[in-house]
């Protein structure tokens, strides 16, 4: 505790439970009082440049006036109303707009309030579509090593086995079919064998197209995704693209499926959907799957409906966010960020302990041999005046697409400085800055 810490922090600290944290040793989080653009203002007056857009959500920067105005107007008219039996304009407009942006034939939008639940709904739809058509045993999914799809039990089961703690929760998690992502001849052969062996019990394949985000920012490509599409077609499986991280310009195109030229049967969206304003998620489904729910049998309906489904504030924010993609040059900004990240992070390649430097769209990754003390690295970034959160073996930047070029080069310089001092300490040479 610090004398400058606000009283709510010291009082509440004994009562909050932090995400992904060992609470015995977790450092006190830094109190934030304001956010604006790419800036996070701390209670003691310091400003941090945000390098990760609050877990990849704030694609237009914080507090964009157009989104703020739309949410304020919606708050005035109707902060919330239930979605069962009642309709409201923000959700109906948003559903039509999302369908317009997504591939032909993906027309049906189911709204939820978090990414994990959007993925669960996708899984439920893929399985129930088969049940409705009389296929009783096709309940399993192929998912991938290094994948991440959420923290709830159904989604943990389709995450990387180690990160998803499949052993710890054995008996509680559904057993799914985890395969290597088919990136080359060897992994493709292994994947093909696994799918063939399980084909009779499979409902679908789920993948993060182009980038496995929380699994370590590992890239994949169009050839991989084409192979998944061909496999899904061959065995009659539903192909789910989890675009919760990749959606809304992050990889350089509005969505990853466009860049890959591969059309899935279901797309899940969340994270940047509201421009980082409030929780909202969507599962967008192909007509052919939706048709399996149209029936005289009441048991064939999709029985799902979160209490705050299609919250009008979230939908208003999402519509305003889509306005900004139409009226402001977000994809050009993503391209400029890509170029700046390539130049700005390149010096890391020469530093000891660096395994890889990779960039795709507005994602820049420096992979180290290992990170022994992530907390120390995070503290080093704070001293550099930036908000960057290394995890596993990577330091990464996913800034707001609106970040000013000067700020972006400050972020890159901070990464170079921190990598330099960290690896210099490890290898016993003096840091040269």
Ligand X SMILES: *Cc1c(COP(=O)(O)O)cnc(C)c1O
Residues in contact with ligand X by CB under 6 A are 114-116, 119, 148-150, 208, 213-214, 242, 244-245, 270-271
Residue 20 appears among annotated catalytic residues? yes
Q: Is 8 annotated as a binding residue?
A: no
Tell me how far, at minimum, the Cβ of 159 lies from ligand X, in Å.
9
> Please, which residue, 148 or 419, has the CB nearer to ligand X?
148
Is 271 one of the catalytic residues?
yes
Is 2 annotated for ligand binding? no
Residue 307 assigned to a binding site:
yes
User: Which among 50, 160, 242, 410 is annotated as catalytic?
Assistant: 242
Task: Verify whether residue 140 is a known catalytic residue.
Answer: no
Q: Which residue has the closest beta carbon to ligand X?
A: 115
Q: What is the dihedral of CA 202, 148, 399, 255, to 10 degrees?
A: 0
How near is the Cβ of 15 to ligand X at its closest, in Å? Answer: 22
**Of the two residues 243 and 410, which places its CB atom closer to ligand X in the complex?**
243
Q: At closest approach, how far in Å is the CB of 338 from ligand X?
A: 20
Least CB distance to ligand X at residue 55 (A): 7
Catalytic residue, candidates 148, 160, 396, 410: 148
Q: Which is nearer to ligand X, 114 or 422 (CB)?
A: 114
Whether 29 has a binding-site annotation, put simply, is no
Query: Would you call 264 exposed, middle or buried from its count of C-beta atoms within 10 A (0-12, 13-18, 19+)?
Result: buried
148 assigned to active site: yes
User: Annotated catalytic residue: which of 140, 160, 265, 271?
Assistant: 271
Given the complex with ligand X, which of 63 and 152 has the nearer CB atom? 152
- Considering beta carbons, is residue 118 or 359 the nearer one to ligand X? 118
Q: Would you say 305 is a known binding-site residue?
A: yes
Cβ at position 367, least distance to ligand X in Å: 18
Q: Is 55 annotated as a binding residue?
A: yes
On whether 323 is known to bind a ligand per the annotation, the reply is no
| 3-class DSSP string for the chain | CCCCCCHHHHHHCCCCCCCCCCCCCCCCCCCEEEEEECEEEECCCCEEEECCHHHHCCCCCECCHHHHHHHHHHHHHCCCCCCCCCCCHHHHHHHHHHHHHCCCCEEEEEEECCHHHHHHHHHHHHHHHHHHCCCCCCCEEEEECCCCCCCCHHHHCCCCCCCCCCCCCCCCCCCCEEECCCCCHHHHHHHHHHHHHHHHHEEEEEECCCEECCCCCEECCHHHHHHHHHHHHHHCCEEEEECCCCCCCCCCCCCHHHHHCCCCCEEEECHHHHCCCCCCEEEEEEHHHHHCCCCCCHHHCCCCCCCCCCCHHHHHHHHHHHHHHHHCCHHHHHHHHHHHHHHHHHHHHHCCCEEEEEEECCEEEEEECCCCCHHHHHHHHHHCCEECCCECCEEEECCCCCCCHHHHHHHHHHHHHHHHHHHHHHHCCCCCC
- Nearest distance in Å: CB 136, ligand X: 28
Backbone angles phi, psi at 193, to 5 degrees: -65, -45
Q: Any binding-site annotation on 389?
A: yes
Nearer to ligand X, 62 or 144 (CB): 144
Binding residues are 55, 115-116, 148, 242, 271, 305-307, 389
Binding residues for pyridoxal 5'-phosphate are 115-116, 242, 306-307
Binding residues for substrate are 55, 148, 271, 305, 389
Point out the residues that are catalytic: 20, 148, 242, 271
């Amino acid at each position: 505790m610090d004398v400058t810490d606000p009283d709510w922090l010291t009082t509440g600290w004994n009562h909050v439970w932090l995400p992904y944290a060992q609470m015995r040793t977790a450092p006190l989080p830094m109190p934030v009082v304001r956010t604006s653009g790419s800036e996070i203002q701390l209670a003691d007056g310091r400003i941090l440049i945000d390098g990760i857009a609050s877990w990849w959500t704030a694609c237009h920067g914080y507090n964009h006036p157009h989104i703020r105005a739309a949410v304020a107007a919606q708050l005035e008219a109707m902060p919330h109303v239930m979605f069962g039996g009642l309709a409201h304009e923000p959700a109906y407009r948003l559903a039509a707009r999302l369908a317009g942006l997504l591939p032909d034939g993906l027309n049906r939008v189911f709204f939820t309030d978090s990414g994990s639940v959007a993925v669960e709904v996708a899984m439920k739809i893929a399985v129930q579509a088969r049940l409705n058509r009389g296929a009783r045993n096709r309940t399993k999914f192929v998912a991938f090593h290094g994948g991440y799809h959420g923290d709830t039990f159904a989604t943990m089961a389709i995450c990387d086995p180690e990160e998803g703690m499949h052993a710890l929760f054995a008996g509680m998690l559904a057993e799914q079919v985890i395969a290597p992502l088919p990136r080359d001849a060897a992994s493709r052969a292994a994947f093909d064998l696994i799918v063939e062996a399980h084909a009779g019990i499979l409902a679908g394949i789920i993948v993060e197209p182009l980038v496995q985000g929380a699994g370590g920012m590992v890239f994949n490509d169009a050839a991989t995704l084409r192979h998944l599409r061909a496999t899904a077609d061959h065995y009659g499986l539903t192909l789910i693209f989890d675009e919760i991280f990749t959606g809304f310009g992050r990889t350089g195109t509005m969505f990853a499926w466009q860049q890959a030229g591969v059309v899935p049967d279901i797309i899940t969206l969340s994270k940047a959907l509201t421009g980082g304003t409030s929780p909202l998620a969507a599962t967008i489904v192909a007509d052919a799957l939706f048709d399996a729910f149209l029936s005289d049998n009441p048991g064939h309906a999709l029985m799902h409906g979160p209490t705050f489904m299609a919250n009008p504030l979230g939908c208003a924010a999402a519509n305003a966010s889509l306005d900004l993609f139409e009226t402001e040059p977000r994809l050009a900004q993503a391209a400029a960020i890509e170029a700046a990240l390539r130049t700005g992070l390149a010096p890391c390649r020469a530093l000891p302990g660096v395994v890889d430097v990779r960039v795709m769209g507005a994602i820049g990754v420096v992979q180290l041999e290992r990170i022994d003390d992530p907390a120390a690295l995070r503290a080093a970034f704070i001293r550099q005046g930036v908000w960057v959160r290394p995890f596993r073996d990577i330091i990464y930047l996913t800034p707001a697409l609106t970040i000013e070029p000067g700020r972006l080069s400050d972020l890159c310089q901070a990464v170079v400085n921190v990598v330099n001092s960290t690896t210099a300490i490890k290898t016993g040479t003096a840091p040269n800055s």
